[in-house]
Amino acid sequence: MAAQAANMPVFLGSLLDEVVVDVPDKLITLIMVFFILKGLPNKLTTLYEVNSEIETLE
């Protein structure tokens, strides 16, 4: 809205909207997910370790 009032091109106004609104939103979301994952109990997170071996029931 402010970009249109300042007679800026549409693509520039869209880019500014992306930078001002979407980038901080995604950053806040990533920080929240990080703290949620860090707060999970170790008993749960060890089930999903990257380098763990898969055991069979044989």
Stronger pLDDT, 58 or 33, i.e. the higher one: 33
Interatomic CA distance for residues 58 and 52, integer angstroms: 18
Interatomic CA distance for residues 11 and 3, integer angstroms: 10
Is 32 within the bounds of a domain?
yes
Is 18 within the bounds of a domain?
yes
Interatomic CA distance for residues 9 and 19, integer angstroms: 16
Is 49 within the bounds of a domain?
no
pLDDT at 1: 58
Is 20 within the bounds of a domain?
yes
Is 52 within the bounds of a domain?
no
Interatomic CA distance for residues 4 and 9, integer angstroms: 8
Domain count across the chain: 1
Is 48 within the bounds of a domain?
no
Is 47 within the bounds of a domain?
no
For residue range 4-48, list pLDDT tens digits in order.
667 778 888 888 888 888 889 999 999 999 999 889 888 887 777
pTM: 0.57
Q: Which domain holds residue 22?
A: 2-40
Is 55 within the bounds of a domain?
no
